[in-house]
């Protein structure tokens, strides 16, 4: 019953938005945990996702929030990019724990080189931004390249970079921030090995800025929607397997620079 109520609220909100001339709407597709393996089933499933997104003329861009490939391998990454290049809208990439391993896989530097050569992206690191309307989208890297494990870690230089960006954005009172990352900063449970390591410095930075609307992540292989300290946290289930989903995100800005965010996971592998 809860999911139907949420869908109904979403439909009403979108109807109001469409019929309000001053509304500035953004629609994003978040995809997490594709875990592309290169076999026929994996190719077919990714093609279904791409076809589903391409059939939606309202989508502004797509974000892949990590675990894009099953294992850290250059040929898998090239094949993954070859498929997602079929998207009719821009896409952005973040990495997860399965994407980069310095030993026995791709380093972050090698991963970026392949992405830049085989897509329209031009990345220098996996900490970067893009902007649409009055929203600045921040992509944040929490992957541990040298010590592969199931949990993530946002390094000090990443947190310092985030602080600097939020400070700069905050000077424009109209601009707000949405963050995309693979690793959540809320816990699955107290003992889960998937929990992100030492998030205190990250949370401290967030508490010092009031311009972050929401954080979208993946990694937990389950769906979570919650609010903490005024920030919405969405964790998106995997886009692989029999129950594969992606997340539709609607961001609605009104005339007074107020925002509403609506979100729903959409199954596509049927």
Q: Which helix (H) or strand (E) holds 212?
A: strand 212-217
Does pLDDT of 1 surpass 80? no
Model confidence, pTM: 0.91
pLDDT band at 28 (very low <50, low <70, confident <90, very high): very high
Q: Which pLDDT band, with edges at 50, 70 and 90, does 18 fall under? A: very low
The secondary structure of residue 260, as a DSSP letter, is E
Range from 106-120, 129-143, 179-193 carrying the lowest mean pLDDT: 179-193
Does 264 have pLDDT greater than 50?
yes
Q: Looking at the 3D structure of the chain, how many domains does it have? A: 1
CATH label of the domain that carries residue 215:
3.60.21.10
- How far, in Å, CA of 120 to CA of 71, rounded? 23
pLDDT score of 260: 94
Tens of pLDDT, residues 127-175:
999 999 999 999 999 999 887 678 899 999 999 999 999 999 999 989 9
Across all residues in the chain, what is the average pLDDT?
Answer: 90
Q: Which of 33, 91, 38, 36 is nearest to 65 (CA)?
A: 33
- Mean pLDDT, rounded, for 108-123: 97
Q: For 53-99, what is each residue's pLDDT tens digit?
A: 999 999 999 999 999 999 999 999 999 999 999 999 999 999 999 99
Instruction: Decide if pLDDT at 22 tops 60.
Output: no
Structural domain for 186, as ranges: 2-267
Confidence at 191, pLDDT banded by 50, 70, 90: confident
Closest of 58, 67, 77 to residue 32, by C-alpha: 67
Q: What is the pLDDT of residues 197-244, one digit of tens each?
A: 989 999 999 999 999 999 999 999 999 999 999 999 999 999 999 999
Beta strands 24-31 and 61-65 are parallel
Identify the CA nearest to 153 among candidates 108, 86, 199: 199
Place of tokens 């959540």: 184
pLDDT value for 8: 45
């Amino acid at each position: 019953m809860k999911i139907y109520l949420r869908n109904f609220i979403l439909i009403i909100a979108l109807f109001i938005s469409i019929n309000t001339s001053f509304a500035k709407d953004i629609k994003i597709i978040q995809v997490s945990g594709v875990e592309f393996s290169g076999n026929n089933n994996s190719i077919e499933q990714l093609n279904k996702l791409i076809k589903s997104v391409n059939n939606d003329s309202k989508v502004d861009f797509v974000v892949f929030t990590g675990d894009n490939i099953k294992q850290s391998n250059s040929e898998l990454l090239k094949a993954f990019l070859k498929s997602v290049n079929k998207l009719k809208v821009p896409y952005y990439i973040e990495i997860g724990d399965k994407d980069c391993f310095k030993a026995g896989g791709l380093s972050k530097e090698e991963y970026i080189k392949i992405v830049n050569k085989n897509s329209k992206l031009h990345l220098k690191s996996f900490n970067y931004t893009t902007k649409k309307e009055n929203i600045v989208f921040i992509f944040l890297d929490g992957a541990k390249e040298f010590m592969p494990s199931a949990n993530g870690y946002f390094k000090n230089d990443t947190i310092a970079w985030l602080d600097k960006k939020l400070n700069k954005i905050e000077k424009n009172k109209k601009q707000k921030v949405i963050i995309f990352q693979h690793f959540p900063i809320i816990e699955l449970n107290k003992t889960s090995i998937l929990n992100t390591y030492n998030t205190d410095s990250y949370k401290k930075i967030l508490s010092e800025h009031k311009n972050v609307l929401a954080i979208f992540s993946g990694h937990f292989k389950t769906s979570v929607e919650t609010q903490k300290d005024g920030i919405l946290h969405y964790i998106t289930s995997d886009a692989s397997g029999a129950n594969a989903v992606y997340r539709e995100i609607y961001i609605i800005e009104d005339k007074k620079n107020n925002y509403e965010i609506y979100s729903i996971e959409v199954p596509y592998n049927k």
